[in-house]
Chains A and B, each alone.
Chain A
Amino acid sequence: MRPLTLRLHLLVPALALVLPILAQAQSVDPTGPIQTELRDPSVPRALRNVKPAPATQGAALQAQVERKLRESFDAADVAGAGALTREQAQAAGLGVVAKNFDRIDIAGTGKVTFEDVKRYLRSRGAKF
């Protein structure tokens, strides 16, 4: 079999818009959907009519990434100081900061902010 290489990201702008589209009160399938209770993947009935979340990509997706990482940082920053020492990061389970502390704390202040973390991750190729 010969391999095909496909650049899927080229398709996304079109499909990501199309796939999550909501219909107005879609009818029940007249041919009778198969019962797939408890079959992976599935969700309880009460959740089957929730409004689907939009499929983010590009800048919107990267904004989510930044928010998630910022929330991790803020959760570790229990004192709300806006900055963490290596020990504080370690104690809070923020190992990614504690382990790379010297590379993040390029100014050598002994404390790092989320902006420092962001700069460090971006320097390694992070897209957010």
Chain B
Amino acid sequence: MGIRSLFRSSWFVASVTAAALTVSACGGSSSGGVGVVPPPPPPPPTLPPPSNGNQPYSDPTAYSSARSASLASAVEAAAITRHQITLRGNTIDYTATTGHLTARNATGGAEEASFFYVAYTIDNQNAATRPVTFFYNGGPGSATVWLHLGSFGPKRLVTGDPSTNGVTPFPLVDNDETLLDTTDLVFVDAIGAGYSEAIAPNTNQTFWGVDQDARVFRDFVVRYLTVNNRLASPKFLFGESYGTTRSAVLANLLETAGIQLSGVVLQSSVLNYNSNCGVVNVVLSCSGYLPSYGATGAYFNLAVPAPTDLLVFEQQLRDFTVNTYAPADLVFLTNRTLPATSVLNQLQGFTGIPVSLWSTNFNLGPGTFQSQLRPGQLIGRYDGRVSAPVGSPLASQGDPSSTFITGQFVAAINSYLVSFLQYGNGSTYVLLGTAINTWDFSHDRNQLPDTIPDLAAALAQNPVLKVLAVNGYHDLATPFYQTEVDLARLGNLPNVSVRNYAGGHMTYLDDTSRPLERADLTVFYQSALVVQ
């Protein structure tokens, strides 16, 4: 069987965005580089007193996301809190563990970096059969706040996405779609994000590269599994965006290290930076975006004739792309010749972008699409369904779908760490550091990472490894069809599958799509566990 795509429509509901925003990278609490005496740590916030089995932890360490920063030494300590959630009539007691573990060199054992993580675990489970899943966002340089507070953890923020008129501050609620009844959940921050930092003589920069980052993540995963006696547990990775790049490389490294994975979930993939025309200037064909343009145009009732079923419409778009648009775009990019007017008319019908614009921008990039689909409006990059007037505050950062949620998530994580997880630290929790500016993107002899070979190598080492890619139809950052095309390079593999939903980069923010995604994930976990 080939890759299966189960398409689900739901026009009017939606989701939103993803990953990025800087919350003042160092917040005045940055420690210095190697050899520099760091300033005294800022006072941590006041925590609740210990009670009911809770063990608050006031962490005195000052953390920095600065490129040259490192910790002189690290302590493995954590806050432990006990909670309950009722899922479909069953009350589940769970433990949240919030703190640091030290990644150590795989061969020499030298300390490399202090990883900040939040683990949600159910007590008294059989460690050999209870899965554990590692979640991380991307960037690179992003803390794992979007997946942590937006997706499948025990708590989530109610965003109202794609509406920007929801209740603020976003309410924090028990998450009916949490995967906690299926797997233990470990949300971990990359080095130079959140409260994760290198240990001297390394600096944060030491781990700012495709391979360097994946290796230190491998060493964190091994440390977590070892410390918690979970080496025998079924193991899953769940990365988003650049986190999917990381997952492909990391999966291969873990398999090589003899840490066999059960499954890898790819949320809104960028598996190959060499195929996404939104990343590398417009020298690449943008044809992989066309089905996303169609979904977005249809959402705003700009597709003619108006499609009645998103599934059917998207299949028409795939067919049109592979048979007509992509070949015509190849000709255009080669010799600047436009196809027949009938093709331009079809493009207008599919997307709502007028023939006049297709004539001048035949290889239409996502940035142009964002600004030109609706005159006077800028639509979102992470979620094309979010729209804001040009010049409005929501449009001012270039992506209304991102701007609308970022401040809310920043505020939420800071209070959540203290009040719910009872972990206190005076440093700024860095949502997005500066890692991307000096990131070593080279990988496997390429200047930009293509991680399909890594995924293929992981599958070669572990033939029962299962891979599930989940995407949003309205994501204009990591277009779903390009991900399908990238994954299809792997060939006819029954253990690689794709699911698409109405929504943007963060499909899980959409109240209709999140339950669908959870249902698919539950089936995926079951299928991955059967073969163990």
Residues of A whose CB lies within 8 Å of any CB of B are: 1-12, 14-16, 18-23, 26, 29-36, 38-44, 47-58, 61-62, 64-65, 68-69, 72, 91-99, 121, 124-128
Contact = CB atoms under 8 A, between A and B. Distances in A.
A24 B258 CA distance: 45
A53 B3 contact: no
B225 interface: no
B19 A95 contact: no
Name A's interface SS: loop
Interface string B282-301: 11110110000000000000
B15 interface: no
8 contacts: A1-B8, A10-B2, A15-B288, A21-B333, A31-B361, A96-B257, A126-B459, A126-B461
Contacts of B411: none
A-B interface, 3 closest residue pairs, ranked by CB to CB distance from nearest:
A95-B258, A7-B2, A33-B367
B383 interface: no
B358 interface: no
A43 B367 CA distance: 15
Contacts of A94: 256-258
Contacts of B327: 14, 18
Given A9-B3, A21-B334, A33-B367, A40 B19 contact: yes
Given A49-B280, A53-B450, A68-B444, A121 B460 contact: yes
B457 interface: yes
Contact of A30 (B139, B360, B441): B360
B142 interface: yes
B12 to A, nearest CB: 14
A55 B489 contact: yes
A47 B280 contact: yes
A41 B460 contact: no
B441 A47 contact: yes
A23 B488 contact: no
Contact of A35 (B334, B398, B485, B498): B398
Most chain-A Cβ atoms within 10 A of its Cβ — which of B256, B257, B318, B437? B256
A19 B280 CA distance: 13
Nearest to A122: B460
Contacts of B255: 96
Contacts of A56: 450, 452-453, 489
B448 A43 contact: yes
Contacts of A127: 456, 460, 491
Which of B7, B22, B139, B488 lies at the interface centre, i.e. has the most chain A CB atoms within 10 A of its CB?
Answer: B488
Interface string B485-523: 111111110000010000000000000000000000000
Given A6-B2, A6-B5, A38-B432, A23 B333 contact: yes
A42 to B, nearest CB: 6
B370 interface: yes
Contact of A93 (B107, B281, B318): B107
Which of B137, B333, B452, B461 has the most CB atoms of chain A within a 10 A radius of its CB?
B461
A2 to B, nearest CB: 7
Interface stretch (B60-68, B81-89, B148-156, B271-279): B271-279
Nearest to A93: B106
Given A30-B360, A52-B274, A99-B258, A21 B398 contact: no
Nearest to B139: A40
B202 interface: no
The interface centre, meaning the residue of B1, B273, B456, B460 with most chain A CB atoms within 10 A of its CB, is B460
B2 A31 contact: no
A10 B20 CA distance: 35
B322 A9 contact: no
Contacts of B487: 8
